[in-house]
Structure 1
Amino acid sequence: MTGADQPELVEQEGVGIPDALQRLWTPHRMAYIRGQHKPVGDDVDGCPFCALIALDDADALIVARGSLVYGVLNLYPYNPGHLMVVPYRHVADYPELTAAETVELAEFTQRAMTVARSVSAPHGFNIGMNQGVIAGAGIAAHLHQHVVPRWGGDSNFMPVVGHTKVLPQLLGETRALLAKAWDEA
């Protein structure tokens, strides 16, 4: 290409110079990055996990409800189908769970794996909880266990280079698929 054949690159204020790279914008993540709506301390009133249980399942992205725990999609998922198993009771530390809560949390985790396998055939799972802010808990005041479906090659250049995760499905669609399969399981 000669100089005359090349498109003129015009710098616009606040936009920058076009560089032919495609961008996936994820502005919703700024709320997470800035810590908006995160509870402070052990305050139950500001806890999003406590607030969710009063909402409609579809609006709250709740996949299933048990007697002592519920399963809800993560608003900032690592992968499609990333859900959390959360006790209804506002408790921060795993040893603080009652025996019954511990059993139902484990059973919900097993069922979440079974349901995810039937809906999207993941090759594996990451399962775990971050206990305390220093350990990476985004909402440390209310215990929650992550169930993250994984596929071979699901971590590609996007998160490494672009600090972006590409999710091929909207959260509402994912919730509907998992909730239907949960009822059928």
Structure 2
Amino acid sequence: MFHYQKTKKRLSSFPKPTGCPFCENLRLEKITEETEFHLVVPNRVKYDVWELRRVIDHLLVVPKRHVLSLAELTKAEKLDHMNIVSKYESKGYNVYARGVGSGQRSVAHQHTHLIKTVTKQARGSLTIRKPYIFKTF
């Protein structure tokens, strides 16, 4: 998953939350779907590229209750989560969640990414960390 430079710049312009951004601000987001235990919301800054394909939609499945991992969900919450994820997967969305120990995890509140891409794959990509450059070709 990658952001182009302009998207990365936009992402860094958001103020850093003092607490959990999902617990504090989730109701401020546009809600795509709501169940008893979860909200589905657009990611405020979607990935630009996923598996060398351009991203056309990027949603998050977020438990309403603050949990760090899927293992903390109750049986009813797990079933609800699987029902949501399987519905979007059948519509062509990729499903992705970072584990608790991931160094790339940006929020300490479990959330699952639903990522829809175009079908055409880029032939390759170039990534440089500093200065940040990401290009597909």
TM-score, normalising length from structure 2?
0.70
Q: CA deviation at 1:30?
A: 2.0
Matched residue SS, 2:102: helix
Aligned residues: percent identity? 25
Higher radius of gyration, 1 or 2:
1
Alpha carbons of structure 1 residues 74 and 53: separation in structure 2 relative to 1, 3 Å: closer
Amino acid at match of 1:151: V
Q: Point out which structure has higher relative CO (alpha carbons under 8 A, 6+ apart).
A: 2
2:50 aligns with none
Q: How does 1:1-185 map to 2 (within 5 A)?
A: 25-26=6-7, 27-31=9-13, 36-38=15-17, 46-55=19-28, 60-78=29-47, 79-114=55-90, 117=91, 124-132=92-100, 134-139=102-107, 141-155=108-122, 160=126, 162-163=133-134
> What is the TM-score normalised by the length of structure 1?
0.54
Structure 1 segments of 4+ aligned residues over 6 angstroms from their partners:
none
- In structure 1, stretches of 5+ residues that fail to align are 1-23, 40-45, 118-123, 166-185
Which has the larger share of helix?
1
Higher strand share: 2
Supply the AA of the counterpart residue of 2:62.
Answer: V
Q: Mark the runs of 5 or more structure 2 residues left unpaired by the alignment.
A: 48-54, 128-132
Aligned length in residues: 120
